[in-house]
Amino acid sequence: MKETTATTSGRSGEWWFRKGRFGVSHLALCLLALTTLTPFLWMVLASFKHVSEIEGNLNPFPKVWHPENYAQVFKQIHFARYYFNSIFVAAWVTVLQTLTSAMAAFAFARLRWPRRDQVFKLYLFTLMVPGVVTMIPNYTLMVKLGLLDSYIGLIVPASFSAFGTFLLRQFMMGIPRALDEAAAIDGATHWRTFWDVILPLARPGLVTLAIFTFMGTYGSFFWPLVLIKSDALRTLPIGMLYFDSVYGKQTNLIMAASVMNITPLIILFVSTQKFLVKGIQLGAVKG
């Protein structure tokens, strides 16, 4: 009887110990999450303040809420136009880069041709070249092709990605080759195999690449700054510079514009988080 009581007490103590460790771990994660969210929360609160309250005021909450800051953003700059330009360019780059990367990944992962692996290594070598190094050659090429200050100039150079090809190649290499052989027996061409067999199975990888591409293009700064001259084609990161140049320093309007700027990214991440995590996990263990 005493032995049974001691065993039960030991199990109870062990359960409380595990529960305590579980609670401490969650508390630490909550504190870490709060620390990470602090700049975002400050930005949201600052977007409702008067500009005089932001500098030198440690109180995070505004004394008087100014929701009209958001309407003022649209009055002082062509914010709606910049919004459209960013989403339009990011959407087209996402579609084209996902398609071109998937086609290249299929060639490197599923097809057999001479010097395939050597060519792939050379292809990956471009990842080591900083974007600043290729900016001037790309700009010169856009000038010679007459694509300066145009949507095509913003979209086409960003529609090809060595990283996207590498990500999808690793994912496609984990798909059984028996599917290719079965499709070939049924008379399917390489294009039919790619479109009807491989792409549906590679959907998590495609979604992951699409999210990365959209977020990177949406927040792109240097290339639009160099390429675009007319106000009608400026994207959000470039248009927001007006708050520090034309109208003086207006931190409250910058914060309001920043909140509206990152809202599509938050919606995209929250709605596709499941696919993003699944795509990263599957791509990391295959190939």
Encoding tokens for residue 200? 């549906």
**Every domain of the chain and the residues it spans:** 2-46, 68-285
Encoding tokens for residue 197? 């067999």
Q: Is the pLDDT of residue 170 over 50?
A: yes
CATH architecture assignment, domain 68-285: Orthogonal Bundle (1.10)
Amino acid at 11: R
What is the pLDDT of the chain when averaged over all its residues?
A: 83
User: For residues 132-153, b (16+ Cβ closer than 10 Å) or e, as one string?
Assistant: eeeeeebbeebeeeebeebeeb
Over the stretch 125-158, which tens digit does the pLDDT of each residue have?
888 888 888 888 889 999 999 999 999 999 999 9
pLDDT number for residue 280: 60
Going from the C-alpha of 99 to that of each of 92, 104, 113, 137, the distances in angstroms are 11, 9, 21, 24
